[in-house]
Chains A and B, each alone.
Chain A
Amino acid sequence: MFAGCGRNVLGGNPGAPYPNEPAGAVVLMDYDTKFGNVSDPPWGSIATGPGNLSTITDPSAPVNPNTVGAVRFTTGCCAGSGPARLETYVGPGRGTPPSGWTRWYVSDWVKFDPTFRPDAGIQKLFPFYINAGGEGGIGCS
Chain B
Amino acid sequence: MLVKADNQYGGNFALIPRFTIAYASTGLVHLGGIDLTQAGVWYQYEVIVNRSGRLQMWCRPKAARQR
* Interface positions of A (Cβ within 8 A of B): 17-22, 60-62, 101-114, 116, 118, 122, 125-126, 128-134, 136
The smallest beta-carbon distance between A55 and chain B, in angstroms, is: 17
Point out the residues of chain B lying under 8 angstroms from A114, CB to CB. Answer: 39-40
The smallest beta-carbon distance between A95 and chain B, in angstroms, is: 12
The smallest beta-carbon distance between A139 and chain B, in angstroms, is: 13
Q: Are B42 and A60 in contact (CB under 8 A)?
A: yes
The smallest beta-carbon distance between B18 and chain A, in angstroms, is: 14
The interface on chain B, measured as residues whose beta carbon lies within 8 A of the other chain's beta carbons, has a size of 26
Point out the residues of chain B lying under 8 angstroms from A134, CB to CB. Answer: 12
* Distance A125 CA – B39 CA, assembled complex (angstroms): 15
Q: Are A20 and B56 in contact (CB under 8 A)?
A: yes
Q: Are A105 and B42 in contact (CB under 8 A)?
A: no
Given contacts A62-B62, A103-B51, contact A17 B42 (CB under 8 A): no
* Distance A130 CA – B14 CA, assembled complex (angstroms): 10
Q: Are A17 and B46 in contact (CB under 8 A)?
A: no
* Distance A60 CA – B10 CA, assembled complex (angstroms): 43
Question: Interface readout for B25-60 with A: 1 if CB under 8 Å, 0 if not?
Answer: 000000000000111111111111111000010100
